[in-house]
Chain A
Amino acid sequence: MNEILDLIAGLLVVTGSVFVLAGGIGALRMPDFYTRIHGASLTDSLGPVLVLGGLMIYAGLSLIAVKLAAVMLFLLVTSPTATYALANAALLAGLKPEGVEHPPTDPENPA
Chain B
Amino acid sequence: MPLMRYLLAIIALFAVWLLWGGLYKTPVLQLGIASCVLVVWLTHRMALPDQQQHRFALLYRIPLYWLWLLWEMIVTNIQVLRLVLGPKSALSPTIVDIDASASSKFALTLLGNSITLTPGTLTINIDDTRITAHCLTRTAANDLRGGAMSRRVAIVDPD
Contacts and interface: CB of A to CB of B under 8 A. Distances in A.
A66 B122 contact: no
Contacts of A91: 124-125
A101 interface: yes
B45 interface: no
Contact of A45 (B73, B92, B134): B73
A59 interface: no
Contacts of B138: 101
Given A45-B117, A77-B113, A19 B122 contact: no
B34 interface: no
A99 B93 contact: yes
B46 interface: no
A84 B134 contact: no
Interface of B: 19-20, 22, 70, 73-74, 77, 80-81, 83-85, 88, 91-96, 112-114, 116-120, 122-127, 132, 134, 136, 138
22 contacts: A25-B85, A30-B91, A34-B134, A35-B91, A42-B81, A45-B77, A76-B117, A77-B113, A79-B117, A80-B123, A84-B126, A87-B123, A90-B124, A91-B124, A97-B95, A98-B93, A101-B94, A102-B94, A102-B95, A104-B124, A104-B125, A107-B132
